[in-house]
Chain A
Amino acid sequence: MAPSKKASWTNAPDAEELEKRNTVGIHKETVTHNTSVDFPGHVPGEDEAFSLDRFRDGFSVDFHQNDPFHASFSLMGIDASLSNAFRRILISEIPTLAVENVFIEINTSVVQDEVLAHRLGLIPFKGGKEGLHNFLKWHKKPEPGEDAYKNSYDWNTVSLELNVKCTLNEDADPREDDPRKAYHNAHVYARDIVFTPTGAQEQYFAGDDAIAPVHPDILIAKMRPGQQIGLTMHMHKGIGADHAKFSPVATASYRLMPIIKITRPILGADAEKFQKCFPDGVIALDKVSAKEAAQKGSGYESHVGETKAVVADPMRDTVSRECLRHPEFEGKVKLGRRRDHFIFSIESSGQWDSDELFMESVKHMKLKCKKLEQQVMDMVR
């Protein structure tokens, strides 16, 4: 008996099929195929079980920008569950040092004590990395009724002072109407905050490593002659899940890599209009070559030398779908997003370097997995 012909699904998926599975469809009013399908049992006869080797082969990183306050990079070949875990860890689980307690001796400015304390808490500070990450440990909040300074040591509490008094500037022109010139200390800035090291902090936060505001020009309060602010602050380590002031990032987000596919030629004036449907640099204009025009069925026949639209840099696209609104492009373009290509953007608030933050999030993720592994083992036992 002759072997029966195998069904087509028993063959290994070709490149086209793999790309189709890996694309989120973006249409005029709908987004389709948004869940990943590379898990066991989804396609009959295909394994797709997670394996470290397969992940290692398919995974790659590409940096686009790496500045202290902003890192942008692509993670390719990773599932949304993992990259989303990294994003969430970045926002809410990496510890930073921030003002937690404010002891106000005097505040006669128009800013209320509560508001002033809140503003001070939100100021991002920087300092020596070794001291911030390794020397400083968690602070345990005293129970209600206990002394406020209990549990405060040099290894968990950083003390700051802010003492400013607004006075009349005798040297200024009497008709001067800029309060910053007419008075001394009319504006209180973050740079007026003084770090007072205690104990071993003098070694860890000496010189350039001193605890100081990342941005010295943050305005804290405005005053008029006779008004005064005098307070001390205690900084502790905390995480973003507890309060946003502890979040080490201004924002950490990702987007999927946009795909623009021109399926049929867009030529002449249409090409220019098509280019205007996208942000600058996404679509380039090219000339139809003689070789393309000679190709039968390409759609370029007898269009030699005409302008045509080509995709230059899809990463810059915002996926506004503007091109889908115009009837002249109907059936000529396909929009989508690559499901396993995450373009990360991490903006550090200044205490950590932005690229350092991502590595830290990976470290946290590993730790979580180790904890889970141990719990699963205990469960089996």
Chain B
Amino acid sequence: MVREGYQPPTAGAGPRGSTHTGHEVRTQMTYICGDCGSRVSLAKDAAVACNQCMGRVLYKERTKRMVQFEAR
């Protein structure tokens, strides 16, 4: 099954699957505001708050990858 799941980090992992080694890649992340629902882009060191309503609860976006399930 190609279900998305947690992959334990392996010692000396290459560029694949690791987000912490390369600081340059993806410094910007998009979140969803828990208060107003707008999309919030946060820069690397920005304060964790919505720039529309200052709401402090931000949700992670759903994966853009396809997820496979068995209909059982």
Contacts and interface: CB of A to CB of B under 8 A. Distances in A.
Contacts of A122: 71
A102 B69 contact: yes
B62 A103 contact: no
Interface centre among B62, B69, B71 (most CB of A within 10 A): B71
A102 B37 contact: no
A103 B66 contact: yes
Interface in A281-326: none
Contacts, number: 44
Contact of A104 (B1, B37, B69): B69
A243 B2 contact: no
A120 B71 contact: yes
Given A144-B1, A148-B2, A226-B37, A99 B71 contact: yes
A101 B69 contact: yes
A106 B2 CA distance: 16
A134 B32 CA distance: 50
Given A144-B1, A226-B37, A108 B62 contact: yes
B66 A104 contact: yes
B16 interface: no
Contact of B70 (A105, A117, A144, A226): A117
A100 interface: yes
Given A144-B1, A148-B2, A226-B37, A102 B68 contact: yes
B67 interface: yes
A96 to B, nearest CB: 13
A106 B70 contact: no
Interface in B4-42: 37
B66 A105 contact: yes
A107 B61 CA distance: 11
Nearest to B2: A148
Given A108-B62, A144-B1, A103 B68 contact: yes
Contacts of A118: 71-72
A228 to B, nearest CB: 10
Interface residues of A, number: 24
Nearest to B1: A144
Given A103-B66, A104-B66, A108-B62, A117 B71 contact: yes
Given A148-B2, A226-B37, A233 B62 contact: no
A237 interface: no
A106 B62 contact: yes
A157 to B, nearest CB: 13
A99 B69 CA distance: 11
A350 interface: no
A131 B2 CA distance: 30
B67 A101 contact: no
Contacts of A161: none
Interface string A124-147: 000000000000000000001000
Interface of A: 98-108, 113-114, 117-118, 120-122, 144, 148, 226, 233, 243, 245
27 contacts: A98-B71, A100-B70, A100-B71, A101-B68, A101-B70, A101-B71, A102-B68, A102-B70, A103-B66, A103-B68, A104-B68, A105-B66, A106-B62, A107-B62, A108-B62, A114-B69, A117-B69, A117-B70, A117-B71, A118-B72, A120-B71, A121-B71, A121-B72, A144-B1, A148-B2, A148-B68, A245-B72
Interface of B: 1-2, 37, 62, 66-72
In the A-B complex, list the 3 residue pairs whose CB atoms are closest, starting with the nearest: A121-B71, A117-B69, A99-B71
